[in-house]
Amino acid sequence: MAIVEHVPTIRRGLGTVVATASALWVGAYWLNERAWDWLLHGAWGMDPGANLTQSVHFFFYDVIKIALLLTGIIFVITVARSFMSVERTRRLLGGKREGVGNAMAAGLGTITPFCSCSAVPAFIGFVAAGVPTGVTLSFLIASPLVSEIAAGMLWAIFGWEIALLYVVAGWSIAVIAGWVLGRLGAERWVESFVFQTTLHGQALDPSVGLSLQQRVQMGVEEVGSILRKIWPYLLVGIGIGAVIHGWVPQDFFASVASADNLLAVPAAVALGVPLYSNAAGIMPLVEALFAKGVPMGTLLAFMMSVVALSLPEMVLLKRVLKLPLIGLFIAVVAAGIVAVGYLFNLILT
Amino acid sequence: MNVKILGPGCANCKRLEANVTEAIEALGAAATVEKVTDYGAIAGYGVMSTPGLVIDEAVVVSGRVPSVSEVTALLSRA
């Protein structure tokens, strides 16, 4: 909070502050691997080939790397997304029919800043604007499934091709799943108060009328709030990743989770449902498993399942959607994720 | 002065509440703070992104957590 409260006072030097922070970030990122190499192998004389050294090196190096990546990516994305809002999305979607509407809603779902705790008022607002239920569902599916933060992490760790595949696949799942649920008559299973509640007054668009300084401040706050929320997951993920990195033999997982094993993808999706974490939180685990031979399609399916199908999210949606629709929602999205997993394993091998 | 905090009780709503409390204390203002958690009532104010801040029945902030100094400015304007 200390840093955050200082941001408004340094009005004139906003550019200087952002430039200095960026330079420090680049310096720290460059230094990270070199510093741990020097410290562990050089100063402390640990054997670079030993299991313990490799685990310890992976842990410290990855903690710093992931923290730096998250800080940079969350900041940039939050500032960029402060120009979008649910209110603006609603205006863009109003009067759109199914099909085109689903495609737009899934795209807007990925770039609109949205907290699932706003799912209920947003649902009411969309219905009031005449947005079809299936189109609204495309938005609600895409929002957690296609996370720019996850895409940014994938880009930094695995390259832009994987990041792009992830975004396109997640978007397609949201478009198709929303469309299918709309065709199945999803309105029937929407709680009736949603249709009875009216939106009074002029909606205040949070993306309009902010100074650049306020947007930068939002970026700083968001970095703090996400890191505070996910650090335990991150440490556990990196810890497990470190053990895998140091002690599990190369290609150990290739035997159980190879692309030929057709059960691996559905098993990964099923495993992801009870696990609830931010996409960024499981990235170290994904990285370590990939290095030991688990195919990318299986890993992406696992990651998508962790972020898009979670119990807390379903509890929130339960306020607006009746149980049969929640069931269908899970079934359609899970089927889409499994299909994407198979497809990627096919393309990427 | 009547201040309402709109939101189902998520992390951002709690941060907004803390900032509002701090701003009111700093101003020494006589204000009643009310939390509105009912979704129908929240939508009734035209708010789709929580948290929302309502001062004397007018929505002044929605979808973000204003800093203590911003809340102070908003309160002294009302």
Q: Is the pLDDT of residue A173 over 90?
A: yes
- Which CATH number describes the domain made up of B2-77? 3.40.30.10
For the segment A177-228, what is each residue's pLDDT rounded down to a tens digit?
Answer: 999 999 998 888 988 888 877 666 666 787 887 888 888 888 888 888 888 8
For residues A138 and A209, the model is more confident at: A138
**Quick check: B74 contacting A, CB < 8 Å?**
no
Phi, psi angles (nearest 5°) of residue A52: -60, -45
**Quick check: B41 contacting A, CB < 8 Å?**
no
Using an 8 Å CB-CB cutoff, list chain B residues near A321.
none
How far lies A306's CA from each of A58, A286, A313, in Å? 23, 12, 11
> With an 8 Å Cβ cutoff, are B47 and A204 in contact?
yes
Beta bridge partner(s), residue B6: B36, B52
For the segment A146-172, what is each residue's pLDDT rounded down to a tens digit?
Answer: 988 889 989 998 999 999 999 999 999
**Quick check: B62 contacting A, CB < 8 Å?**
yes
CA A192, CA A168: separation in Å to the nearest integer?
A: 34
Residue with token string 């299973």: A189
Per-10-residue mean pLDDT of chain B, 78 residues long, equals: 86 87 86 85 83 88 86 83
Nearest CA in chain A to B50: A118
- Give the model's pLDDT for residue B11: 78
Cβ-contact A75, A222 below 8 angstroms: yes
- Give the model's pLDDT for residue A136: 92
For the segment A257-289, what is each residue's pLDDT rounded down to a tens digit?
Answer: 666 778 889 988 888 877 766 666 778 888 888
Return the amino acid letter for A224: G
Cβ-contact A257, A62 below 8 angstroms: no
Pairing of the two strands B32-36 and B52-55? unpaired
Nearest CA in chain A to B67: A5
Q: Is the pLDDT of residue A46 over 80?
A: no
- Give the model's pLDDT for residue A255: 67
B32/chain A closest Cα distance in angstroms: 22
- Give the model's pLDDT for residue A12: 61
- Give the model's pLDDT for residue A201: 63
Minimum-distance CB partner of B45 among A90, A200, A218: A200
Cβ-contact A105, A138 below 8 angstroms: yes
Instruction: To the nearest 10°, report the CA torsion of A305, A309, A312, A315.
Output: -170
> With an 8 Å Cβ cutoff, are B49 and A198 in contact?
no
> With an 8 Å Cβ cutoff, are A122 and B49 in contact?
yes
- Give the model's pLDDT for residue A1: 41
- Give the model's pLDDT for residue A276: 67
> With an 8 Å Cβ cutoff, are A121 and B48 in contact?
yes
Return the amino acid letter for A295: P
For the segment A54-103, what is each residue's pLDDT rounded down to a tens digit?
Answer: 888 888 888 888 889 989 999 999 999 889 888 888 888 887 888 889 99
Reading the block at residue B27, the tokens are 């101003």
pLDDT tier for residue A175 given thresholds of 50, 70 and 90: very high
- Give the model's pLDDT for residue A2: 43
Nearest CA in chain A to B51: A118
- Catalytic machinery residues of B: 10, 13
Cβ-contact B1, B75 below 8 angstroms: yes
pLDDT tier for residue A42 given thresholds of 50, 70 and 90: confident
Using an 8 Å CB-CB cutoff, list chain A residues near B7.
117
Reading the block at residue A86, the tokens are 């649910």
User: Strand, coil or helix: what is A190?
Assistant: strand
> With an 8 Å Cβ cutoff, are B49 and A202 in contact?
no
> With an 8 Å Cβ cutoff, are B48 and A122 in contact?
yes
**Quick check: B63 contacting A, CB < 8 Å?**
yes
Q: Is the pLDDT of residue A5 over 60?
A: no
For the segment A284-323, what is each residue's pLDDT rounded down to a tens digit?
Answer: 888 888 888 888 999 999 989 988 887 777 888 888 889 9
Angle between helices A283-291 and A148-158 (to 10 degrees): 30
**Residues of chain A that touch chain B, judged by Cβ-Cβ distance less than 8 Å:** 4-5, 8, 85-87, 90, 113-115, 117-118, 120-122, 124-125, 193, 197-204, 206, 214, 217-218, 221, 225, 229, 319
For residues A72 and A38, the model is more confident at: A72
Cβ-contact B52, B39 below 8 angstroms: no
> With an 8 Å Cβ cutoff, are A203 and B62 in contact?
yes
